[in-house]
Amino acid sequence: MSYTLDPELVPVLAAMAAQAADAPARERGDWRALREAGNLGQAAMAALVPPVTGIKTTTHFATALDGTRIELRWYTTGERTAPGPAVLYAHGGGMVLGDLDAYDTLLSWYVAHSRVPFLSVGYRLAPEATGTTLAEDVFAGLTWLVGHADEMGVDTGRIAVMGDSGGGAPAAATAILARDRQVPLARQILVYPMLDDRNQTPDPAREPFLTWTYDNNHTAWNAVLGDTLGTEAVSPIAAPARLRDFTGLAPAYIDTGDLDIFRDEDISYAARLAAAGVPVELHVHPGVPHGWDRIAPQSQPARRAFTDRVRVLAAL
């Protein structure tokens, strides 16, 4: 099978490849090097988001299961007069990198265009935190939002959880926890989510187009799961693709690129949701790799994806 890169992404990936050629080689399993490079990449992507004005932010804190304070950042237009929807967000970064600051511009953009406030969760990263801890941190953010709904102007029946890339795992797991703990959740919005630790077999046909590689994937999942990686001991609260019972989960929106290593696990997750009677909207965008919307936000494929996401957000 052969794949074709969308023409608008050709110069972008060529520039990224040229830049990577000058960077020192990164060994498989070196999460520190992955974090360092990834944080630089996230800062560069943040600079590509069109600036927005009029978004107000405030800082709050949730309490994790072990008593740790989890930073929360609330984004709003400040114009709400009656309780309405809200989105709980888990940032990307393979669960080993990224932070709230790197997502300020993107989440401000979503809020400005959807008019829906966002609560971004500063969940702890692997390997400092492992296993189900990351999802439990995000769920602590959901618990905080529900508990403070009145003062935040939030209708608890209209809360969605959203996450992209590595944030897709704790976001999807939060939807599972919400079902199991009887916490209302209106929707789960998963943007090219990282869901399955067993996705470790390279696809040579897609290799030339990868922005998140199989080596990156092994490094990240190994940081999260350690010796349990790939075994039956992995909880679906750490790797949601391990879930067996999908009944009763929140309706889902999932999008992914055809040249993304997460494509097949995302399609499978959507299919199992649908088979369990959960409403699903799935988009597989042709000719684009992981994170195409962030590395080329003005491209037509990115514009289509952002338009669909804003539509779903505005309908909460």
Catalytically active residues, by annotation: 165, 260, 290
Neighbours of 75 (CB within 10 A): 24
For the chain, the first-to-last Cα distance in angstroms comes to 39
Yes or no: say if 97 and 64 are a contact pair by the CB < 8 Å rule.
Answer: no
Query: Rounded to whole angstroms, what are the CA distances from 196 to 163, 187, 229, 269?
Result: 15, 21, 10, 9
Q: How many CA atoms lie within 13 A of 270 on its CB side?
A: 22
What residue type is assigned to position 41 of the chain? G
Yes or no: say if 264 and 201 are a contact pair by the CB < 8 Å rule.
Answer: no
Query: Rounded to whole angstroms, what are the CA distances from 62 to 56, 59, 78, 137?
Result: 19, 10, 22, 8
Query: Rounded to whole angstroms, what are the CA distances from 309 to 53, 142, 231, 238?
Result: 20, 20, 34, 25
Q: In the block, which residue shows the tokens 């949730």?
A: 62
User: Comparing C-alpha atoms, which of 211, 285, 152, 183 is closest to residue 20?
Assistant: 211
DSSP conformational letter for 129: S
C-alpha 149/C-alpha 159 separation (Å) is 10
Burial 139-171 (b: 16+ CB within 10 A, else e): bbbbbbbbebbeebbbebebbbbbbbbbbbbbb
Yes or no: say if 144 and 71 are a contact pair by the CB < 8 Å rule.
Answer: no
Using DSSP's 3-state secondary structure scheme, residue 81 falls into coil
